[in-house]
Structure 1
Amino acid sequence: MRIRPAERKNGSQVRRRALKGGSATFGPSWERLWKYLKGSVRVDLYAEIELLLLTFCTGIQDATTFPDYHCFASNQTGNTIMLAIAATGMHEIDLFVPANIGTSLGFFLLGGWSVGQLGHLIGPQKRLWLILSNFVQTGMTFGAAALQYHFGVTLEGTCAIGVIALLAFASGAQVVMSRAFSCNEISTAMATAAFVDLLVDPYLLQANNRPRTRRVFFLISLFLGALSGGVMYVRASSALAIFISGVGKAIVTVMLLFNRVGKQEKSEEVVGMV
């Protein structure tokens, strides 16, 4: 039986289409993966768990940086007050190290500004941007742990400045990232506003009150993180505590791969399929 030229041509076209679309057999195509990574993430319970885990990591860091360097890596309200007091000359008392406080505040602002402005250009809720941002923060946290492990803890000096700078920059970037989720009740760092907003909530005792619940779990996570950091500081070392904080941030980085797609993009995808 002879195969006509037209049939042979059609058969080769079918084979080419099969080869071209064969990636669907082994998983999503690169185009689909790229579209998935460029898409926005949905703010839901899963995203809230990620923010609470980051809050826990923040508590660990501040519980170790304050006794080691007399400053906070994330709590810039305390740093601002201490910097102002140190400027009056009270830094002669062994309570403040102006260089450490200034480094923490400065690099926190730098991290927040740089990541925040880049987020505006790229898209603050884009999955790939959130993963990249958290990946960099995680690397900085591990870097701070490595510095402490290798050089030990010194109240002042180059190593102290390096550890504080890495943690403060990562903390500033983290707070900005939490704002990208439009979940202001879980800032991952500042507790004062959460306490006040919780107390003045007119629906404080109402059963279904998502903002109230977010604030409560945020405060609990921050407290438990600081408690855990304090235990590790006393029974192990600061380097281990910061390393554990980095592990928590690394877990969140991986979790960001599995956030659900934003509602708007999901609806657009469904419309395109109709």
Structure 2
Amino acid sequence: MRGEFRNEPMTDFSREENRAKMLKALDEFSATLGKSYENFIGGKAVRFAETFESRNPSKPSEVIGVFPKAGNAEAEQALLAAEKAFESWKRVPVRDRADLLFRAAEKMRERRFLHNASMVLEAGKTWPEADGDTAEAIDFLEFYAREVLRYGGEQPITPFPGEKPELRYIPLGVGVVIPPWNFPLAILAGMTSAAIVTGNTVVLKPSSDTPAIGWLFYDLLRSVGLPDGVVNFITGPGAVGGDTLVRHPKIRFISFTGSKEVGLGILRAAGDTPEGQGFIKKIVCEMG
């Protein structure tokens, strides 16, 4: 039985042992600088002909990593993989999906300083800022796991004589998650975990400024037993691939955090209902 939700404590960097752990994690992440990363579609590592570099904003000459540049064709492949995985994932018991998030939260605690280090070097965050981002990501994993246990079964509903009303929440289908660069772990983890723990599958497309941070989160999910295709990880410029996903008639929902300009464009594009789309897309659009 899980206890009540509590916010993850911040790391006290006035303690020498915590500073030592952070310095060690920075060395560990720095050892991977310039690495060529993969995308993951249907659980399989994939590379594309075109690539782009992620750089340290505090030291632009420093290449964090080289990433595949997903285009429209790759976005379509990721969507189809998510659609296939949805047929089995939606039937996984709620408690099993919640347990995946609880395991992910525990793993993130173990890897906390590595996630911090990735944000220091790829997003230019200070140590406390990076640690706060990681703590919030853990909070999202813990919170949404508990919430799905609360909402996953039959819900209370006003009785009516002669009727047997029933209310249950069901998964929607395939969604696309488009997180920002400024809270590259917390918001990414929150939007992704909320979608998958409720039985949906997603195409996750992190900001092209912070793809390594997103890659580490996807790697964490895989390490705790994420089934193939439930999260499909692709990288590249926002306009390429992202627009295809937003407009696609098989995308049921879109979770976006970013600029007003891009957000309004998503709202306009997602408002269309092309032939073959028998629903109106659900949009979560947080704009700065």
TM-score, scaled relative to structure 1: 0.29
From the two aligned structures, give the one with the greater strand fraction. 2
TM-score, scaled relative to structure 2: 0.28
